[in-house]
Amino acid sequence: MLYKNISVEKIFHAGIKIKNNSTVIYVDPLNLPTDSESADFVLITHEHLDHLSPNDIKKISGKNTVIITTPLCAKKISGIENKQILHTKPGKIFDFGNLKISAVPAYNTNKFRSPGVPFHPKEHGGVGFVLGIDGVKIYHAGDTDVVPEMSDLKDVDVALLPVSGIFVMTPEEAAEAAGTIKPALAIPIHYGDFEFNGQIVGAKENGAKFKSLCNFPTSIV
């Protein structure tokens, strides 16, 4: 889909391609075709296998590609050709002129792998990203529940929010998050396609359910 002059394309699961006339950005690319367009920037939110795919990063990376990710992820992709790998953490800001990238917190508050142990602990430093490009602000939430830091997000045009309810927000929680963020457009991701341990992570109906719970524009891409 196009939002103003920015293309926002869902690849698979939480993988997103963002593009204007001169810059190609991938966030958490997964299941990419072998002939995918080369990346200027690759952003990886955290180290889980449905977000960090070295094989997919390799398909789109070259000597001019900048990769931005957490230190833990960086260790796992150190052999991939790229211009540079920049480490990030919540609160870090990168300024590339027409493109500005901010890392924001992404973590669980009520999704646990065992009692008291969240799937995405805050202290592990997983992130979401806020991209500012051509006057458009795009928020990719990463793997997160509704967290207090979402209230700090201002003037978001497009919010990409996980809705599977497995490891991340449910459709109801994502609608709550959208109500806090108040984007011009909300898009559900992270549901209906990725299989883990024989189970699809999030029903295909979750996207439509999220849309039905929001009282402002939404889109499924």
pLDDT digits (tens, 9 = 90+) for 49-85: 999 999 999 999 999 999 999 999 999 998 999 999 9
Q: Whole-number mean pLDDT of the chain?
A: 96
* 130-143 residue pLDDT tens: 999 999 999 999 99
172-195 residues labelled b (16+ CB within 10 A) or e (exposed)? ebbbbbbeebebebbbbbbbbbbe
| Cβ neighbours around 22 below 10 Å, total | 10
pLDDT of 151 above 90: yes
User: Against a cut of 0.85, is the pTM above it?
Assistant: yes
Superfamily designation of domain 2-213: Ribonuclease Z/Hydroxyacylglutathione hydrolase-like (3.60.15.10)
Q: What secondary structure letter does DSSP report for 65?
A: -
In this prediction, residues 24-47 reach a mean pLDDT of 97
Model pLDDT, residue 165: 96
Q: Where are the domains of the chain?
A: 2-213
Burial of 30-42, coded b for 16+ CB within 10 Å and e otherwise, reads bebeeeeeebbbb
Residue 216 pLDDT > 80 = no
